Amino acid sequence: MPTLVGKEVGPLGYGLMGLTWRAKPVSQEQALEAMKAALDNGMNFWNGGDFYGSPEYNSLVLLERYFAKYPDDADKVVLSIKGGVGAIGKDPDGSPENTRRTLDTCIAQLKGRKKIDIFEFARRDQNVPMKTTFDVVQKEYIDTGKIGGLALSEVRAETIHEAVKLIKVVSVEVELSLFSRHILEDGVAEACAQYDIPVVAYSPIGRGWLSGQIRSIEDVQPHLRAWPWFQPGNFEANLALARQVEALATRKGVTPAQLAIAWTKRLSTWREGKGAVPKTIIPIPGATTVERVVENAKAAEVEIGDEEMRSIDAMLDQFPRAGERYPDDIPTNT
């Protein structure tokens, strides 16, 4: 079993973003049922954010209500929380003042019901030296036991090489899926392998593309419809890629989401002739219903052989994804 901050976690984690970060969040009852199903199905590593929703209803608020209802689950869950955006606006802010603000706010929102095992700055602040930020985290929060450890999020390889000289990096969260394979080519996967840092793979279902549910733009979450992957031209090319994945999944007798998640996990033992990869890759698919949670959890049992991996590689070469991962105003590879 993989471990994070010295605690065993399942081969798959659970992303909380979709429960609160949408125009119309699902009901609290439905959210808590999905979270319970994730834990019951071995997905005990949970990943949320203080900006996933409003301050009145974000991941932390939902988590507090979950652990109020299920207090015995607090010790079963390994919790990672992203923060670090500015108090005003969405730009990264790694200043000591904002570091304290975001951590104190996150801790307070949980009301003592659950410790934050891992904290991540959602993006690196290019204007503040990492040492300045990390010194506050280490001395005032990790050393005092307020949080368990620090992870990196959406970073480039150079940031990883710099960060490990300053603090113990317990994981690196990056986008990784059949739709997003950049870390296998830009040095990020190799850096994580070099320092034996687990990769936490967000969006392994490609923001819905690999769910088998997208046929037209109306099937896309409204807040994503203006993003590059879903623009005219890109949409059609990406739909063709998604259809290829669906065909492979049908032949294998699994759902497209299960194939996508299993492929992401399998990368830790694949990358034939293409450089080092970390030995631990933990996909964190999100889902808002018990049915989808259970479907995703079954991906942990899906085996993908070497010949199948080669076939998928060939398919990806023939059907490349179209469009950038994010709009221009959202920083990436920080």
Q: Where are the alpha helices (DSSP H) in the chain?
A: 17-20, 28-40, 59-69, 96-109, 130-137, 157-163, 188-194, 234-252, 256-266, 290-297, 306-318
Q: What are phi and psi of 112, to 5 degrees?
A: 75, 5
Written as six digits, the tokens of 201 are 């793979």
DSSP per residue, 298-331: GGGG----HHHHHHHHHHHHHS---S-SS-TTS-
Among 102, 126, 98, which Cα is nearest to 116's? Answer: 102
Active-site residue, 14 included: no
Among 82, 58, 13, which Cα is nearest to 280's? Answer: 13
Q: What is the DSSP letter of 267?
A: G
Amino acid at 125: D
Q: Counting Cβ atoms within 10 Å, is residue 279 exposed (0-12), middle (13-18) or buried (19+)?
A: middle
121 DSSP β-pair partners? 83
Q: d(Cα 234, Cα 126) in Å, to the nearest integer? A: 30
Amino acid at 62: L
Catalytic residue among 52, 66, 141, 202: 52
CA geometry: angle at 107 spanning 195 and 145, to 5°?
55
| Catalytic residue numbers, as ranges | 52
